[in-house]
């Protein structure tokens, strides 16, 4: 995790698996910071669902793939956050092709990329940019 002028960079481990025509992203969020952090459950895909546009998916022509699900609007509450103490992990597995317009046989680059408030305190203006490495995959 890096700290840069009100923005923390949080590296997310991501792997992609394709089974039975489903492209799954396995996301691992691990707190390597010395302090406890609070991450928004929706941003973590805590119900193993993608509920907003959190992946950057590029096709072989260099075009960004469309997010096709509705974006959930809500009032953020303290109970929406997952507390991660130092060394704690949170894992989610999500079906990418439920939320993005993917075509079988196409090659894609996929990256998890989302912003998260650093806490549910309205006076805390720090943002956490959560991102994974870019993964190349052929959707079969």
- CATH number assigned to the domain comprising residue 20: 2.60.40.2970
Burial of 28 (0-12, 13-18, 19+ CB in 10 A): middle
Residue 119: pLDDT over 70 = no
Tell me how far apart the alpha carbons of residues 26 and 12 are, in angstroms, rounded to a whole number: 10
**129 contacts 39 by C-beta, under 8 angstroms:** no
Tell me how far apart the alpha carbons of residues 72 and 36 are, in angstroms, rounded to a whole number: 27
pLDDT of the residue at 70: 83
Q: Is residue 53 part of a domain?
A: yes
78 phi and psi angles, rounded to 5 deg? -55, -35
Q: Is residue 93 part of a domain?
A: yes
Q: Is residue 4 part of a domain?
A: no
Q: Is residue 48 part of a domain?
A: yes
The count of domains in the chain is: 1
Give the C-alpha distances (Å, rounded to integers) separating 14 from 33, 92, 93: 19, 10, 10
Beta bridge mates, 17: 24
pLDDT band, very low/low/confident/very high, at 38 (cuts 50, 70, 90): confident
Q: Is residue 5 part of a domain?
A: no
Host domain of residue 121: 10-139
Q: Is residue 50 part of a domain?
A: yes
Higher model confidence: residue 100 or residue 140? 100
Q: List, for residues 45-65, the tens digit of each pLDDT value.
A: 988 999 999 999 999 999 999
Average confidence score pLDDT of the chain: 88
Tell me how far apart the alpha carbons of residues 40 and 119 are, in angstroms, rounded to a whole number: 8
Q: Is residue 69 part of a domain?
A: yes
């Amino acid at each position: 995790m890096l700290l840069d002028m009100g923005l923390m960079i949080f590296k997310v481990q991501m792997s992609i698996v394709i089974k039975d025509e489903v492209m799954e992203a396995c996301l691992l969020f691990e707190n390597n910071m010395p302090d406890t952090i609070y991450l928004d459950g929706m941003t973590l895909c805590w119900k193993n669902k993608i509920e907003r546009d959190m992946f950057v998916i590029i096709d072989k022509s260099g075009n960004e793939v469309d997010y096709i699900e509705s974006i959930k609007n809500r009032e953020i509450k303290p109970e929406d956050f997952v507390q991660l103490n130092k060394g704690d992990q949170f894992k989610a597995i999500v079906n990418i092709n439920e939320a993005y317009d993917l075509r079988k046989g196409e090659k894609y680059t996929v990256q998890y990329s989302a912003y998260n408030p650093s806490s549910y305190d309205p006076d805390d203006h720090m943002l956490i940019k959560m991102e994974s490495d870019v993964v190349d995959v052929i959707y079969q």
